[in-house]
């Protein structure tokens, strides 16, 4: 440890503090590694009210001179920098300069390297300090180039500042791809006396200038170089859940935002440090109440909080009680005559020797539907189609009775945004399988379900009473999956399950299709469990138990098979017309029940791009 804080006599050596309300809070530590002759300056992120207030002082200011010695030699940081971060720099620079005088500039010093580091606001202050350190070294003719390593750092200054520090300091700026703090502050209001910083949208922050014109100011803040992007796919566990963080907004609860701002850095870099690797803050779910401290450290601390539930890549065993995403009363499409078990070429439920279950359906050809149409549908499932003068979400049209809600991280799956960010597309869906269906006792047709355009649709809506869910369907699915394969004739969704031993694709659903003279031939295959022979006793039974959701395995399998049969059998009633309209063409022929008038959010996607290939090639169990 290097030096001491004269304003805090009781503080440990090398620890420097910040005052607030008559108390002093540790904010910076300066260390020296004797064997490597390395000096390290580390600054933590925002903690006190004063520091948080400084975060919102985001107008920029010209620098005041900072001292290079005890005499009159001074220098300035070029350009303009964030007011709040500049105040933090001004408070800490005297301590850093004193340490440099004692450990680097003094006769006989053997220091060979200097690195500054910090997280969040600490990253911003460390960025400014690194430039001052390098200026000090040059002024004293010391042949060392300062290094800077930051984590989750916000923008600090303008383009002139960024260019100057790029030329002076060796920079490594670590950023998690979905950390919203790394794009803040989104704008500056140079001529505004006061300005607020609301949630960012397209990096634009509305501010009010002194003339009251209400103009919006675009940001000319600029990051320095040296960025190293940590991606959700780099996380040690639950990579699909971490990928889901790409839709977090600054308006989300503080638990969600803070979790994404802190935990990914600990999770990713813990693997390179000594100590118990379980203390990694990787798990994005609530800490069990009976967890020991050692185990709870594996969870993202304080995340979720305030009652927020994070989507997990597993079958949710709890009854779905969040009705906020349910369709409004009367918003479901009318039903058509659904296909039944007898309308499939074949369907089966089987259990392998290692207890892995398989549901397989070979659908009869679907008249009027082509491979291009089904490829288009999967790339536009989040869109909506107007049929018979009413707009319906495509996901509800895919199954008017059972489906509830659908979200995808990238629409279409091969969108430029998905390719640019290299994120694996994810989907989250909710459905009540076999809603309103009744058991028959006939093993060849175990369930019979409501069907037909003149039959009231029993699908759940916001008006459905929670007590009626059990009457309609004792089984619901609230699933999050990764799109592992997307080709012009095939799609595979997979749910990843994780334990401390590792992660694997625990439930895999693949739909493949080909054109025939009689229509589109589709085969659906869902595998529940791992293909490993060693998964027999301890692993696959647990996966199957989660998948069956309290329903007997054979009954669950029968429900899933019928759900798939009804989904694909209904495509002939609406998909050809919707696809034609999406391409700006009139339907070639009237649909059996629906004729599309227009389609929203449904730009055509080239179906012959085989280069899409496998979007995720790791793991194949």
Query: Are the C-beta atoms of 22 and 118 separated by less than 8 Å?
Result: no
The helix (run of H) or strand (run of E) holding residue 83 is helix 83-103
Topology adopted by domain 15-190+222-230: Rossmann fold (3.40.50)
pTM: 0.51
pLDDT at 340: 95
Higher pLDDT, 76 or 595: 76
Higher pLDDT, 619 or 393: 393
On the question of pLDDT at 556 being above 50, the answer is yes
Strand partners, 357: 351, 528
Query: Are the C-beta atoms of 547 and 508 separated by less than 8 Å?
Result: no
On the question of pLDDT at 254 being above 80, the answer is no
Query: Are the C-beta atoms of 426 and 496 separated by less than 8 Å?
Result: no
The rounded distance, in Å, linking the Cα atoms of 527 and 351 is 10
CA end-to-end distance (rounded Å), the chain: 50
Query: In degrees rounded to 5, what are phi and psi of residue 185?
Result: -75, 145
On the question of pLDDT at 133 being above 90, the answer is yes
- Of the chain, the percentage scoring pLDDT greater than 90 comes to 37
The rounded distance, in Å, linking the Cα atoms of 480 and 427 is 6
Higher pLDDT, 510 or 314: 510
Mean pLDDT for 213-228 is 67
CA distances from 512 to 134, 483, 561 (A): 60, 14, 15
Digit-coded pLDDT (tens) for 13-62 = 889 988 888 888 899 999 998 888 999 999 999 888 888 888 878 777 77
Query: In degrees rounded to 5, what are phi and psi of residue 513?
Result: -150, 155
The rounded distance, in Å, linking the Cα atoms of 263 and 266 is 5
Indicate the pLDDT class of residue 503, thresholds 50, 70 and 90. Answer: low
Q: Is residue 29 classed exposed, middle or buried when 0-12, 13-18 and 19+ CB atoms within 10 A define those classes?
A: middle
pLDDT at 401: 94
On the question of pLDDT at 377 being above 60, the answer is yes
Indicate the pLDDT class of residue 466, thresholds 50, 70 and 90. Answer: low
pLDDT at 286: 58
Higher pLDDT, 386 or 379: 379
| Tokens, residue 508 | 């895999």
pLDDT at 312: 38
Beta-strand ranges (E) seen in 1-140 are 15-20, 23-33, 38-43, 60-62, 66-67, 74-75, 80-82, 113-119
pLDDT at 542: 83
On the question of pLDDT at 256 being above 80, the answer is no
Backbone φ/ψ region at 14: left (φ over 0), alpha (ψ -120 to 50), beta:
left
Secondary structure class of 485 (helix, strand, coil): strand
> Among 85-99, 409-423, 597-611, where is mean pLDDT lowest?
597-611
> From the CB of residue 411, how many other CB atoms can be counted at a distance below 10 Å?
22
Indicate the pLDDT class of residue 89, thresholds 50, 70 and 90. Answer: very high
Digit-coded pLDDT (tens) for 336-367 = 999 999 999 999 999 998 899 999 999 999 99
pLDDT at 539: 82
Digit-coded pLDDT (tens) for 179-199 = 878 877 754 444 433 333 333
- DSSP letter for 567, please: H
On the question of pLDDT at 305 being above 50, the answer is no
On the question of pLDDT at 586 being above 70, the answer is no
pLDDT at 600: 31
> Among 20-29, 69-78, 475-484, where is mean pLDDT lowest?
475-484
Higher pLDDT, 100 or 14: 100
Average pLDDT, the chain: 78
Indicate the pLDDT class of residue 413, thresholds 50, 70 and 90. Answer: confident
pLDDT at 478: 67
pLDDT at 523: 98
| Tokens, residue 352 | 């392998």
pLDDT at 607: 25
On the question of pLDDT at 595 being above 50, the answer is no
> Among 82-91, 264-273, 415-424, where is mean pLDDT lowest?
415-424
pLDDT at 11: 83
On the question of pLDDT at 275 being above 90, the answer is no
> Among 217-226, 243-252, 339-348, 465-474, where is mean pLDDT lowest?
243-252
The helix (run of H) or strand (run of E) holding residue 599 is strand 596-600
> From the CB of residue 324, how many other CB atoms can be counted at a distance below 10 Å?
6
> Among 88-102, 108-122, 397-411, where is mean pLDDT lowest?
397-411
- Of the chain, the percentage scoring pLDDT greater than 70 comes to 73
On the question of pLDDT at 120 being above 80, the answer is yes
Closest by CA to 619, choosing from 525, 510, 497, 449, is 497
Q: Is residue 360 classed exposed, middle or buried when 0-12, 13-18 and 19+ CB atoms within 10 A define those classes?
A: middle
The rounded distance, in Å, linking the Cα atoms of 204 and 215 is 11
Per-domain boundaries in the chain? 15-190+222-230, 249-310, 323-612
The rounded distance, in Å, linking the Cα atoms of 186 and 140 is 37
The rounded distance, in Å, linking the Cα atoms of 139 and 129 is 15
The rounded distance, in Å, linking the Cα atoms of 121 and 83 is 12
Secondary structure class of 341 (helix, strand, coil): helix
On the question of pLDDT at 618 being above 70, the answer is no
């Amino acid at each position: 440890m290097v030096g001491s804080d004269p304003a805090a006599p009781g503080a440990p050596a090398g620890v420097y503090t910040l005052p607030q309300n008559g108390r002093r809070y540790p904010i910076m530590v300066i260390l020296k590694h004797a064997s490597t002759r390395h000096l390290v300056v580390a600054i933590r992120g925002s903690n006190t009210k004063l520091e948080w207030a400084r975060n919102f002082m985001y107008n920029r200011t010209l620098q005041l001179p900072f001292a290079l010695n005890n005499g009159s030699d001074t220098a300035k940081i070029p350009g303009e920098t964030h007011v709040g971060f500049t105040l933090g720099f001004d408070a800490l620079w005297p301590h850093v300069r004193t340490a440099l005088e004692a450990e680097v500039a003094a006769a006989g010093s053997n220091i060979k390297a200097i690195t500054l580091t910090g997280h969040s606001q600490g990253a911003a202050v460390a960025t400014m300090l690194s430039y001052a350190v390098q200026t000090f070294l040059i002024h004293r003719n010391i042949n060392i180039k300062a290094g800077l390593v930051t984590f989750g750092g916000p923008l600090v200054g303008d383009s002139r500042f960024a260019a100057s520090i790029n030329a002076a300091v060796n920079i490594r700026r670590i950023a998690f791809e979905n950390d919203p703090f790394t794009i803040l502050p989104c704008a500056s209001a140079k001529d505004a006396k006061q300005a607020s910083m609301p949630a960012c949208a397209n990096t634009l922050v509305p501010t009010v200038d002194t003339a009251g014109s209400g103009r919006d100011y675009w940001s000319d803040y600029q990051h320095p170089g040296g960025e190293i992007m940590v991606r959700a796919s780099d996380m040690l566990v639950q990579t699909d859940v971490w990928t889901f963080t790409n839709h977090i907004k600054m308006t989300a609860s503080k638990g969600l935002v803070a979790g994404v701002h802190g935990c990914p850095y600990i999770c990713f870099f813990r693997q390179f440090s000594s100590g118990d690797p379980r203390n990694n803050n990787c798990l994005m779910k609530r800490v069990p109440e009976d967890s020991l401290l050692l185990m709870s450290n594996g969870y993202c601390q304080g995340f979720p909080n305030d009652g927020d539930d994070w989507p997990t890549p597993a079958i949710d065993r709890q009854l779905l009680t969040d009705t906020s995403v349910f369709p409004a009363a009367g918003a479901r499409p009318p039903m058509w005559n659904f296909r039944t078990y007898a309308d499939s070429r074949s369907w089966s439920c089987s259990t392998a020797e290692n207890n892995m279950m398989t549901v397989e359906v070979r659908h009869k050809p679907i008249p009027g539907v082509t491979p291009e149409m089904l490829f288009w549908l999967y790339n536009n499932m989040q869109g909506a189609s107007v049929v018979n003068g009413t707009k319906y979400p495509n996901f509800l049209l895919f199954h008017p009775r059972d489906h509830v809600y659908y979200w995808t991280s990238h629409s279409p799956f091969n969108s430029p945004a998905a390719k640019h960010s290299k994120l694996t597309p994810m989907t989250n869906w909710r459905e009540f399988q076999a809603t309103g269906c009744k058991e028959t006792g006939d093993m060849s047709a175990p369930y019979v379900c409501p069907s037909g355009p003149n039959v009231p649709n029993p699908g759940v809506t916001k008006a459905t009473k929670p007590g009626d869910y059990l009457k309609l369907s004792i089984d619901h699915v609230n699933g999050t999956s990764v799109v592992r394969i997307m080709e012009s004739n095939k799609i595979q969704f997979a749910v990843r399950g994780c334990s401390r031993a590792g992660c694997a694709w625990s439930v895999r659903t693949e739909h493949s299709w080909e054109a025939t003279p009689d229509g589109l031939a589709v085969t659906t295959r869902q595998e529940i469990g791992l293909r490993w022979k060693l998964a027999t006793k301890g692993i696959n039974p647990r996966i199957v138990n989660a998948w069956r959701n309290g329903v007997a395995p054979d009954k669950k399998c029968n429900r899933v098979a019928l759900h798939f049969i009804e989904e694909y059998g209904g495509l002939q009633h609406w998909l050809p017309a919707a696809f034609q309209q999406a391409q700006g063409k009139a339907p070639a022929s009237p649909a059996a029940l629906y004729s599309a008038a227009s389609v929203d959010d449904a730009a055509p996607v080239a179906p012959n791009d085989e280069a899409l290939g496998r979007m995720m090639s790791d793991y194949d169990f």
